[in-house]
Amino acid sequence: DIQMTQYPSSVSASVGDRVTITCRASQGVSNRLAWYQQKPGKVPKLLIYAASTLQSGVPSRFSGSGSGTDFTLTISSLQPEDFATYYCQQAKSYPYTFGQGTRLEIK
């Protein structure tokens, strides 16, 4: 299985801050990576797929980059509604695997 490791596990930030979350794959996944946002008690929401393609309707302050084993999700200017847990997921090979999540909290 491809292991997905996210850094950091949690981060505190303020509204307006720029935040970057990292996801590292245990082996290359090309650009077969997605990012999801999940708020407490809610369903995961696809933000970015194919490493850098913004899902329709997702604000442009979210961006993704990377290829191979190292990927980043960047939120350029945090908004109150962005405080949530973020997960990466690889779709290079079965079984699909998710990272352990990064919790983004209000400072």
Partner 1 sequence: QITLKESGPTLVNPTQTLTLTCTFSGFSLTTSEEAVGWIRQSPGKALEWLALIYWSDEKRYRPSLKSTFTITKDTSKNQVVLTMTNMDPVDTATYYCAHRIQGFFDYWGQGTLVTVSS
Q: How many Cα atoms are found within 13 Å in the side-chain-facing hemisphere of 44? A: 13
Residues 6+ apart with CB under 8 A from 40: 84
Task: Kindly tell me which of 82 and 87 has the beta carbon lying closer to partner 1.
Answer: 87
CA distance 7 to 78: 18
Site string for partner 1, 29-68 (x = CB under 8 A): ---x-x-x-x----xxxx--xx----x-------------
**65-104: contacts with partner 1 (CB under 8 A):** 87, 89, 91-92, 94-101
Q: Which is nearer to partner 1, 19 or 48 (CB)?
A: 48
